[in-house]
A and B are shown apart, each in its own frame.
Chain A
Amino acid sequence: MSGPGSFAWFARHEARLAWRDWLSLMTAGHRRRARSVAIGFIVFVLFAHGLAWLMLATSGNLDGAADKRVLAVITGTLVLSWSLMLSQAIESVTRAFYARGDLELILTSPASSSRLFAVRIVAMAVTIVFMALVMGAPFINVLAWRGGARWLGGYVAAVALAMDAVAVAVLIAVALFRAVGPRRTRGIAQIIAAVIGAAFVIGMQFAAILSTGTLPRMAARQWAGLVRHAPDSVSAIWWPARAVLGGPAAMAALLGVAIVAISTAIWLVAPRFGQFALAAADMSRRSTRHGRRHARFHQASPAQALRRKEWILLWRDPWLMSQTLTQLLYLLPAAFLLWRNFYQGGSATALLVPILIVAAGQLGGGLAWLAVSGEDAPDLIASAPLRANRVLHAKTEAVLGGIALIFCPFVAILAIAAPRAALVALAGVGIAAGSATAIQYWFRSQAKRSLFRRRQTSSRIATFAEALSSMGWAGTGALAATGTWLAVIPGVITGAIIAGAWLISPARGTSLN
C-alpha cells in the first residue's frame, strides 16, 4: 500500500517537497529564521482573529434562524472567496503544466505517472484549502465563538469549495489546451486567472464603497431588490450558505459534489497530464518567428539600449501583463465612482487618489524588481563599458516610463473632473512608484526573472517597506486631495519609513561607480 510507486509513497514525496518548499519560502533559505517565522505566524493568527472580531462586532443575530438576507450575504461572500480560490487554482494548474522540473524523470521511470499526477492534483487542492483557511479561519472561529458551533460548517464549505475550484481549474486548463493549444494556453489562463482574481478585489471594493455610504441610496435600493428577487430560502442555491451554517444535509451535499468533481478531474486528466506537460515543453522547443525579419539595428547610446531592452522584456513578460491587467481592473470601481461623481456632483474624486497611488506603488515595485533584480544577464551588463549608476538610471527611467504610460490616462481623466485631486494623484503616483523603485534597488539581490513570484523571500523588510510606503503615500494623497494640512503627518511617517529602510538596507555604504 505504501511501497514505492504507490499513492501513499508519492503523497509522502510530494508532502516532503511541499514542506521544504514552504519552509524555504518562509525563511528565505535560512533555517535559523524558523523560530522567527513561527512567532510571526502566531502574531498573524492573533491579529487576524482580532480583525475578524472587529469586523463582525456589529453583526447581530448570529445564533438565530437564517433568513434570505443572511443567506444572501453568506452566498455573496462564498462567491467572492471562490473566485479567489479559482484564480489561484488556475494559476497553480497552469504552472504545473508548464513546469518541466522532474517531468522527464517521472515519465521515463517505470512508476505510474498518472498516480503521481493524481497526487499532484490533490496537492493543489490541499494548497488552495490551506490558503482559503488562512483567510477564512479567523472569521469562522469568531463566528463559532459568538454564534455557536454550527458556524464550524464554514470549514467544510471552505474545503469543498477549494476542491471544486481545483477541479474547475483543471478542466479549464485542459479545455484551453485542446481549444487553443499549448502555446496560447499559458497566456490566456493567466489572463483568466487575473480577471477572476480581480473579481474578488473588485467585489470587495464595491462592498466597501457601498458600506461606507458613498452610494447609500442606490446601494440600499439595489440590495433590497436583489434579496426580493432571490430564490426562496429553501432553494438549492442556498445550500453552500446552509453548509456554512452547519446544515448537515447541505454539508454532506457540498462535500459530495466536491469529491465527485475532484475525482472526475483526476480520472479525466491524471492519465493525460504527462502528455499535456510534454506538449507544453515541446512547444518551447518549436520554432516560431517573432517580429520582422532583418529588422534594422537601432543607433543607440548604452542607456537607450538598456531602456529599450527593459521595455521589450516588460512588454513580453506574461506575468507582468496579467498583473497590469489586474491592477487596471482594480481601478474599475474607482472609475465607476469617478463617472458617477462627474455626472452627479460630489467629493468622491478624492477617493480615487489613494487608489491610484497604491496601484502605482504596487506596480512600480513589481516593475522595479523585474528591471533591477530580475536581470537575466547580469554578467553581460557588468562586463559592458557602462558605469553602475548609468545602468541604474536607465532602468529607473524604464520603470517610471512604464508607470507613466499606465497611469497618465487615469490622471488626465481625473483632471477633467477635479484638477486639484489630479495634481495630487500625479505627484503621489510618481512618489509612490519612485519610492518602491528605490526600495527595490536598496534591497536588490540578483535573481532570474522567472523567480518573480518569490521575490518577497529575498527580503521581508523590502516587502513590508514597499507595502507601507504605498499605503503611506496613499494616505498622504487622500488627505492632501481634501486640502487638509494633516496630510503632512502620514507624509512624514512614510518618509521616515523609507529613510529607515535605507538605513538598514544592504545598499547603504556601497557606492555606485
Chain B
Amino acid sequence: MTGATGAQGGRPLSAPGVCSQINSESPSATRHVACQSGANPGLVPAALELRGLGKRFERPAVVDLDLSVPPGEFYALLGPNGAGKTTTLRMVTGLLRPDQGSIAVYGLDARADPIGAKRIMAWVSDEPMIYEKLTPIEYLDFVAGLWAVDADHAMRQSRDLLAALDLTPYADERCERLSKGMRQKLVLAGALVHEPRLIVLDEPFTGLDAGSAHVVKALLRERIQAGCSVIMATHVLDAAERMADRIGVMASGTLIADGTLDELRRQAGAGHASLEDTFLALVAQDASGP
C-alpha cells in the first residue's frame, strides 16, 4: 500500500510513501501500524489531511478542498459567513457525509473508519452540546464513558479541567443554571477529557468573556505543546493572529489562501498590515478575481 486513499476520492491520504495507520479495534488503545513497502517510517502523517473534499447543498458549500495540518500545529480557518468553514469541520468530525474527497486523521481514513477517527478527535461547536439536567461532573462522566476512558483517570482529568476553567464551584450544579460562557467552557472540558490528538473547534470563543477566553487560549496552547493539533474556525481574528501557527482563508467553499501570517500578508500584498486588513484584502481579491 503506498498511501491510503479515501473512500471516494482517488488522491493519497498522506504524503507519498506514508501509510501510518491507527488501529481502531480497541477502544482504549490507538496503535500506529508500520508502513509497508515504499513507506518512509521517518515521516509522521499529518494530523489532518483533506484531499478534494466537496459538499453541496442547494449550492456548493465546499469545493475540491485540499488542506493539511501537521501534528502539533494550531491551524485557524477564517472566512466570511457562508464560506464553508463549519461544513468543512463537520465533515472532518463525521457529522456530515462529504460528497467527494478524502479525510485522513493521523493517517487514518476517516471515511472508511469513522469510529477510529472519532476516537482521537474532539469537536466543539459554538452551540454548546450539553444536557440541562446533568451536572458538569455528570456530563464529564458521560463523555468519558462515550470515549471509554478509564474512570479514575477521567475523574482526575475532569477535576483538573474544571479547576483550570474556573468551573469547580459549579461542578455539582445542573447545567441549566450555568451561563452560556460556562456551558461553552464545560463543553471544552468535555472535548479534552478524553485527551484527543486532534481538536476541532468551531467558534469556541462565542459567549466567553475576556478572562475566560484567555483561560481557554492558555489551555489550548498547553495542549499544542503536549503534541495535540488544533483546527479552529473563527471570526475572532485577534485570537487567530495570536494563537495560530498557520491560517487558512476560505471563501465560496474554497481555500483562497493558506500560510503563516507573513505569507498571507505577502499573498495579499498587505505589507505589515494586521490580520484583519490582510483577511479583508484576500477576500476582496477573491471576490474581484477571474
Residues of A that sit less than 8 Å from B by CB:
284-302, 304-306, 308-309, 312-313, 316-317, 376-387, 449
- Smallest Cβ distance from B166 to chain A, in angstroms? 14
Does A298 contact B172, Cβ atoms closer than 8 Å?
no
Selected from B121, B123, B135, B154, the residue in CB contact (under 8 A) with A297 is: B154
What residues of B have a CB within 8 angstroms of the CB of A380 in the complex? 123, 129, 143, 146, 190
Selected from B122, B134, B158, B190, the residue in CB contact (under 8 A) with A309 is: B134
What residues of A have a CB within 8 angstroms of the CB of B152 in the complex? 297
What residues of A have a CB within 8 angstroms of the CB of B115 in the complex? 385-387
Cβ contacts A to B, 24 pairs, < 8 Å: A289-B172, A290-B174, A291-B135, A297-B140, A297-B144, A297-B152, A297-B154, A297-B155, A299-B150, A300-B145, A300-B151, A302-B27, A302-B147, A305-B144, A312-B134, A313-B134, A316-B174, A379-B93, A379-B95, A380-B146, A381-B146, A383-B123, A384-B147, A385-B148
Query: Residue of A at shortest CB range from B169?
Result: A287
Q: Is B132 an interface residue (CB 8 A)?
A: yes
Does B145 contact A290, Cβ atoms closer than 8 Å?
no
Query: Residue of A at shortest CB range from B152?
Result: A297
A298 touching B141 in the complex, CB below 8 Å, given contacts A287-B170, A290-B135, A293-B172: yes
User: Bound complex: CA of A413 vs CA of B48, how far in Å?
Assistant: 60
User: Bound complex: CA of A492 vs CA of B231, how far in Å?
Assistant: 55
What residues of B have a CB within 8 angstroms of the CB of A304 in the complex? 145
User: Bound complex: CA of A284 vs CA of B104, how far in Å?
Assistant: 43
User: Bound complex: CA of A381 vs CA of B130, how far in Å?
Assistant: 11
Selected from B127, B140, B142, B172, the residue in CB contact (under 8 A) with A291 is: B172
User: Bound complex: CA of A382 vs CA of B141, how far in Å?
Assistant: 17
User: Bound complex: CA of A449 vs CA of B155, how far in Å?
Assistant: 28
Residues of B that sit less than 8 Å from A by CB:
24, 27, 93-95, 115-116, 118-119, 121-123, 125, 127, 129-135, 137-138, 140-148, 150-152, 154-155, 158, 170-174, 176-177, 179, 190
What residues of A have a CB within 8 angstroms of the CB of B144 in the complex? 297, 305
- Smallest Cβ distance from A130 to chain B, in angstroms? 32
Does A379 contact B123, Cβ atoms closer than 8 Å?
yes
Does A289 contact B158, Cβ atoms closer than 8 Å?
no
Known: A316-B174, A379-B123, A449-B132. 6 other contacts (CB 8 A): A290-B174, A297-B158, A317-B133, A379-B129, A385-B115, A385-B118
A385 touching B116 in the complex, CB below 8 Å, given contacts A300-B145, A312-B138, A313-B131: yes
User: Bound complex: CA of A381 vs CA of B132, how far in Å?
Assistant: 15
What residues of A have a CB within 8 angstroms of the CB of B179 in the complex? 285
What residues of B have a CB within 8 angstroms of the CB of A378 in the complex? 129
Does A382 contact B95, Cβ atoms closer than 8 Å?
yes
User: Bound complex: CA of A313 vs CA of B148, how far in Å?
Assistant: 20
Does B177 contact A287, Cβ atoms closer than 8 Å?
yes
Query: Residue of A at shortest CB range from B149?
Result: A297
| 4 smallest beta-carbon distances between A and B, as pairs | A305-B145, A377-B129, A384-B146, A299-B151
What residues of A have a CB within 8 angstroms of the CB of B133 in the complex? 312-313, 316-317
Does A385 contact B145, Cβ atoms closer than 8 Å?
no
What residues of B have a CB within 8 angstroms of the CB of A290 in the complex? 135, 172-174
- Smallest Cβ distance from A315 to chain B, in angstroms? 9
Does B173 contact A288, Cβ atoms closer than 8 Å?
yes
Q: How many A-B residue pairs have CB under 8 A?
A: 126
Does A379 contact B125, Cβ atoms closer than 8 Å?
yes
Does B130 contact A377, Cβ atoms closer than 8 Å?
yes
User: Bound complex: CA of A382 vs CA of B95, how far in Å?
Assistant: 6
What residues of B have a CB within 8 angstroms of the CB of A379 in the complex? 93, 95, 123, 125, 127, 129
- Smallest Cβ distance from A292 to chain B, in angstroms? 7
What residues of A have a CB within 8 angstroms of the CB of B140 in the complex? 297
What residues of A have a CB within 8 angstroms of the CB of B151 in the complex? 296-300
What residues of B have a CB within 8 angstroms of the CB of A317 in the complex? 133
User: Bound complex: CA of A294 vs CA of B137, how far in Å?
Assistant: 8
Point out which of A291, A313, A377 has the most chain B C-beta atoms below 10 A from its C-beta. Answer: A377
What residues of A have a CB within 8 angstroms of the CB of B95 in the complex? 379, 382-383
User: Bound complex: CA of A309 vs CA of B174, how far in Å?
Assistant: 14
User: Bound complex: CA of A290 vs CA of B146, how far in Å?
Assistant: 23
- Smallest Cβ distance from A307 to chain B, in angstroms? 10
- Smallest Cβ distance from B74 to chain A, in angstroms? 20
What residues of B have a CB within 8 angstroms of the CB of A312 in the complex? 133-134, 138
- Smallest Cβ distance from B158 to chain A, in angstroms? 7
Query: Residue of B at shortest CB range from A376?
Result: B131
Point out which of A300, A306, A449 has the most chain B C-beta atoms below 10 A from its C-beta. Answer: A300
Query: Residue of B at shortest CB range from A285?
Result: B177
Does B118 contact A383, Cβ atoms closer than 8 Å?
yes
Query: Residue of B at shortest CB range from A317?
Result: B133
User: Bound complex: CA of A149 vs CA of B39, how far in Å?
Assistant: 94
What residues of B have a CB within 8 angstroms of the CB of A297 in the complex? 140-141, 144, 151-152, 154-155, 158
Does A286 contact B118, Cβ atoms closer than 8 Å?
no
Does B173 contact A287, Cβ atoms closer than 8 Å?
yes
User: Bound complex: CA of A304 vs CA of B116, how far in Å?
Assistant: 20
User: Bound complex: CA of A309 vs CA of B134, how far in Å?
Assistant: 8
Does B155 contact A296, Cβ atoms closer than 8 Å?
yes
